[in-house]
Structure formats: structure tokens, C-alpha cells
Structure 1
Amino acid sequence: MKLNRFFLVVGLMVVSSVLSGCLYPQDRLKENQVPYLDQLEAVQSSVDQYREASGGLLPIKDRDMETPIYQKYPIDFNKLSPRYIQEPPGTAFESGGVYLYVLVDVEEDPKVKLIDLRVAEQIRDINIRIDMYKRSNNGYAPIKEVINDQAFKLDWEKLGYESEPFAESPISGKNLPFVLNSEGQAQLDYSIDLYDFLQEHEHNYKPGDDIRDIIVEHSVFVPAFSLAYTVDENNEPVFLNKE
């Protein structure tokens, strides 16, 4: 239910962005889809200034404690603008962009990262189809294959798709598939990106560890809308089974 509420908010945000996008020329719209590092740095600086001036408080919106960790701390630009930053960056959804600016590591060293709302919109559309299917099939989702207790492959034909849908990874640009979680919600499968990051970066992960933070450490994006992953005996990413 918490995830459904998040996607409802995301849906409203995306609609708002689309409507406001009608007011922008095409070159401005293209600019709002590119995560410029200088914009990230400007937001990071404003967050640091706000934190120092407020005695350690963070400029974030309130979210339920059960909100998934990478979506849990969205930046509230109303608390930053105009004192610490003139206005939200063009890539932020508040300015007609496609990214949600969030904070990670809020207890120790808050860092600004991004969520691609286009992925959120794709997942929302898939979840609508899943819910419609479940209502017509005694509450059962169209599962094609069980991966483990936490992850399942979907039967896309039963959901009305002619072929399996994919999302372009905001991290690598590669096509990523979707899976179903144990709560009946679609999630993005980051296995491809995680495999690449495990090969490219030194790490000390062992089986049982959640390895998603390797993306957070080496990317401007967070692996939002994802299940937990760990490594197997071959140091390859697999879905983490909860005990």
C-alpha cells in the first residue's frame, strides 16, 4: 500500500511535468532530461548550507517510515529556494524536468542523488495492468516463473503486451527488464547494471549483503523501485532472499 501511494504521487508529478512541459520549447525540454553535474553540485551546496544554518536539519519532504529507502528522502526545494538556491534546477520535476532529487546517507553524510521519474511512470502503468488482471483472476498475479521467494517473472502476454517491456536504465542506458515482488508490485531489475558495477569497482561484498549501494557510490542515480540484491559464489548479482 505504501508503494501504491508513492506511485500515485509520482503519477501526479509526471502529469504536472507533462503539462508544464507544454510551456517549454523543445530545446529546453531536452535540457531538462540530462542530469548535469553542475546542477547536482549546486543542489548539494544548498543542502549543505541549509543543514549548517538549521543545526543539522535536512530540507526533505515527509515520507512514511515504510517508504523504500531510496525514495524515502526527496528534497523539498521550497525549503531551499530562494535563500540557498535561486530555483530548482531545470532537470528537477518541479521545473519541468524528469528527475526527483533525493538524499542518501542522511545520518552520516547526506548526498544528493537522482531518481528517473520516467521509470516510475512505466512501473505505474505495469502495476495498473497487474491490478486489473488480479481483479479478474481471484487476486492472482500472472506469474510465469518463480525466481526465488522475493522475485517472479511476469507473463507479459496475459497483461496485454505483445512483447516484454523494458526500461532504459538511467545509470547505463541499457535496457532493463521488470520483475514482480512478493507484494505483487512491478520492480525494475538492475542485475545488468549491478553486474557491470561489480566488475568495474573494487568491493568487499559477500553473499547475504545488500549490494545496491555500489550503484549509489559510483553513480548520480539511486537504484529506485528495486528489490534487494546480493552476490552468489561467483560474485554475480542475485535477488536477496529474506529470512
Structure 2
Amino acid sequence: MVIFQEMNDFQKWYSIFWKTKYYKNNQICYNSAKPKDNKILLIKQGILSVQTTNRQGEKTNSEILVAGDIVNIEALKEARGEWDIPGLIQYQVVALGLVEIYEIEKEFLLSHLYVDPRQYHQFFERTIIQLINVSFSYAISNKRPQDKIAWTLFRIAEKVGEQHKKDRNLIILPSFVTQTFVSEMSNTGKSRATEAYRALLKNGVLIQRHGHKMIDFKRLLNYLKQEVLSDYSISKATNQADESFFKKG
């Protein structure tokens, strides 16, 4: 995504319609209980965690946001009605390290995007992908713990993983990606998450070496294709539709 600050036309309106805000590790960057409907919070740099509250009243990690993601994605919604994010779910966004966020007047941002169709497309494509990732996580919420953990590891690797210098198939995970973090993000109980971790270590998807947690990306993809994504493939859906049709006949 093009960094808006590099656009001359965008730069000259600094402090009037947009500004850069800085946050330290563990600092709350946004809370849905205090929405900013007229502003879009776009991440320039850093990693953040979206935290929700579980039944015990504890904060749990549910999503990772990185540069280019929108912190308050519900602010893009124009019409206000019964379907209202703050009324449905409360969440907060916390910095995992140093973070920079663009706080942009909503109408100003959208008007600039309309001028450049390419940026408009990139912006909303990124937003759609962000929503699809979360939606699919809910779609597989009834899957086996091992499957949910595998999908969560894929999402984490894609967003914040670092390729190993000698073997680019190996993805090094950041230190904050603990078993508890993955358990929370996949909505899996701790005991079941431990079992899933052991299984993924056994089949070589997860690797622990020299104090680093790594993922064998090819093995992870193969696992997801066979155990998770196959249920949502077009061919699978077509076969199910055919079976349903013949049963009716």
C-alpha cells in the first residue's frame, strides 16, 4: 500500500486533517467503548493486538494488526442502525512494541482515495482481506483444536513471521507468539492447545530450535489444504450440491 505521507497533496494537510500518533509497548491505542467514528486509524508501523473480554472478564488476544491495517474498521460503516459494533462487542487494541498510527479525518481520507482508483482499490482490498481472515476463523470455530491452531499459526506467520536466512521455507515467529497467545487467538482451551501443539511438533509443522519457534511453511500449507481448506473448496461445494440435487430427484 502507498504510504499516504509520501504523497505531496496529502502531506500539505498534515495537522489539519491528519496526524501521526506514537505508542509504546503494551499501551492501549484504541478502545471501542470510546469510538472515533469521524476518524480512520491506519497503522503506519508496528504490530498491535486486538483484545476482547472472555467470560471470566479477562482480556484475550483475538487478532493481530500490522502496517496497512485499519484499527477501527467499523468506522468505515456509514449507516447507523441496530447493527452497531460498540453495542455488539467491546474490544481494545494494544501495541506490541513501538507503534505509529495515522489518525485521519474520515471524509478527507475517502475523498483522496476517490481521486486515485489504484489506492482506493488497494485500501479496500486490504480491508476485505482483514475481514475474511476473521470471518474464516469463526467459520472453523467448531473444527478440531489442531486445525484451529494451524490456521491461527498461518495467519500469524503471514502477518509477522520472518523468513529464515538459510531456509526460506522456515518462518521464525516473534517472541510474543507464545502458546497462550495462539490459544487465545484460536479460541482454544489451554489444555487442548497443548495437545494440538504437541501434534504439530510431532508432524514437523512446528519446530523449536536454538530458542526460536519456527513454522515449516510448506508442511503447514499442506496440512491446511488437507485438513481444513478442503471442506471449503469449490469442488467440495459442487459435489455436495450434486449429491443434494440427486437426493431430491
Q: TM-score range by the shorter chain?
A: under 0.3
TM-score by length of 1: 0.27
Q: Which has the higher relative contact order, 1 or 2, with Cα contacts under 8 A spaced 6 or more apart? A: 2
TM-score by length of 2: 0.27
* Bigger strand fraction: 2
Asked which structure has the greater CA Rg, the reply is 2
* Bigger helix fraction: 2
